Amino acid sequence: MTDFFKGISPVRFEGTGSSNPLAYRHYNKDEIVAGKRMEDHIRPAVAYWHTFAAEGGDPFGGRTFDRPWFDKGMDGARLKADVAFEFFDLLDMPFFCFHDVDIAPEGATLAESNRNVRAIGDIFARKMETSRTKLLWGTANLFSNRRYMAGAATNPDPEIFAYAAGQVKNVLELTHELGGQNYVLWGGREGYETLLNTRFGQEQDQMARFLTLVIEHAKKIGFTGQILIEPKPQEPSKHQYDYDVATVYGFLQRYGLEKDVKCNIEVGHAFLAGHSFEHELAVASSLGMLGSVDANRNDLQSGWDTDHFPNNAAEMALAFYYILKQGGLGKGGFNFDAKVRRQSLDPADLLYGHIGGLDTLARGLKGAAALIEDGEFDRLLDERYAGWDKGLGKDILAGKLSLADIAARVEAESLNPQPRSGRQEYLENLVNRFV
């Protein structure tokens, strides 16, 4: 045991009457909600990068955190792994997620970097033998190193494409060996700063080829988890090719990959694309693309991805509505892609963020389950679209009527339809009744 969290006891569920800041008030992992344990609905995960590698910097200032593993090379990486699993145990967290460069320092060559990652992966494997915390997903960081300033898969230099492929191969295999249930590809710099030096079509072809190679290798090694793309519209690139769920689906469909890949959807990225979180979830679910999610939120007064912990139960209730309606997240989960603020210096602050986030998810889940069980919300939606289930509407969707047939029917039946209220305010009040 390290002494990083010295004096802090394991976090337990104490109920809404508790005033203990290091206790869950709403998140009771064994509570049955809609026929399933709360933990099995949420499947929460700690993000290794924000929790243990983040330095407290922002666009205008550098490191504010003082972690004992910073700048200590592989010795620091080993200490960080020890602290990480102590943290997972304190929170009673079932999953974690990682990038390769967050768990181990980069070496002078790809081979050295991969060996470093493997060495920490061996530590993870040993710890997972006695810990209940498992791996939700792994990914390779193909955006931080300066070699990736013009992208990885979409780089104009094929040698950089090849280097990135070597990174992904290593992390994909490690994810498989550790029992990870998903592998995520986030194209942090798969986009462009200016079209003046960009061949848009070629970069799309390169990205599709890279993704195809990943899919093929996953099958070769027997990886049965989900391959996920995480949409984001901008920042760091001016325009990123995985702008939102609809854009990703169009890209996948163009290259015949839509059956092999799903989406990992993040709250903050949805907002940067001009959408709500529930919009992206609804689109993904309707396309069969909803694989996993990242739980966070943005500071809406700032113009970048600020990665706060979630704290709006009403918004999460709408998110869980779409997740529950599609039967859950399957192999996916809720990864806390969130970080404490740069002034939150104490080890306990890391626990406060996750405790509050899990309580928010629990409230959202229970609200959504109650909303669905009540039935009025779904009944009103069914009523609004009922005309498409019979007669004219049904014939139109079935392709039984041509444009001329439809026009003739309007005239023959003297149709003069009048608009009906969408009842938005009533529906907003209805949702809030269950949160």
Catalytic residues: 99, 102
What contacts 348, CB < 8 A, 6 or more positions away?
5, 8, 22
* H or E element that contains 370: helix 347-374
Bridge partners for 24 per DSSP: 13
* H or E element that contains 209: helix 200-221
Rg (CA), the chain: 24
What contacts 179, CB < 8 A, 6 or more positions away?
128, 134, 135
Q: Report which of 82, 239, 91, 99 is spatially closest to residue 175, judged by C-alpha positions.
A: 99
Cα→Cα distances 28→23, 44, 88, Å: 10, 12, 16
What contacts 390, CB < 8 A, 6 or more positions away?
none
Written as one string, the DSSP assignment of 386-415 is GGGGSHHHHHHHTT---HHHHHHHHHHTT-
What contacts 423, CB < 8 A, 6 or more positions away?
380
Q: In 222-346, which residue ranges form alpha helices assigned H by DSSP?
A: 245-254, 267-272, 277-286, 313-325
Residue written as token pair 């026009």? 407
Which tokens in the block code for residue 372?
Answer: 């669905």
400 CB neighbour count, 10 Å cutoff = 9
